[in-house]
Chain A
Amino acid sequence: SQKIEQNSEALNIQEGKTATLTCNYTNYSPAYLQWYRQDPGRGPVFLLLIRENEKEKRKERLKVTFDTTLKQSLFHITASQPADSATYLCAPGGSARQLTFGSGTQLTVLP
């Protein structure tokens, strides 16, 4: 069955550093992969989408890579700020419109 793993449930980093979150998937060949941010008591907020034919996508301080050989996506936040603290979810998607979510990584940026 399809399986999505996100690195460590919690990640703490110092303000100003780069946070790197990992999403690995197995038994799956997604056509694209989305990353979302979720704050407590709120719904996920869409951040970035990267397609299988794209190696890298950037948006302001965010960068996503997608390696279909390794079956892995990396999500980077550069110059991290305390306001970046949240749970980040990866969600591969395919020909069906539905998304499959990982369990998320809770990021805490320490001032």
Chain B
Amino acid sequence: EAGVTQFPSHSVIEKGQTVTLRCDPISGHDNLYWYRRVMGKEIKFLLHFVKESKQDESGMPNNRFLAERTGGTYSTLKVQPAELEDSGVYFCASSQARGNGYTFGSGTRLTVV
């Protein structure tokens, strides 16, 4: 089966610009997660979708971050306006049932300059 696909793999933007990250989960996986690793830190949870609904967005840093999951398929994570501290690797993961482990994408490396 196809894995979790993230696009773009790399993005370099200037402070104040807008960037949109995309995640295509494994087909049929209702659960979709966004995680982030900033330099030197652990991978941190951002939010969790079940189908098209936000189940938990307690990890979202602030209102500059907006996540959507249209029709319960792919998801986008928009950062607007981007700040320097937003630089890091953004991972998307999906799972079907609890206890099965998550399948992660390769991540999007975001650099804000």
Interface residues of A (CB under 8 A from B): 4, 32, 34, 36, 41-49, 51, 89, 96-104
Contact = CB atoms under 8 A, between A and B. Distances in A.
Interface of B: 4, 31, 33, 35, 41-45, 48, 55-56, 58-59, 91, 93, 98-107
Contacts of B58: 98
Contact of A89 (B43, B48, B56, B59): B43
A46 B107 CA distance: 15
Nearest to B44: A101
A43 B105 CA distance: 5
B33 A98 contact: yes
A96 B105 contact: no
Contacts of B44: 101
A34 to B, nearest CB: 6
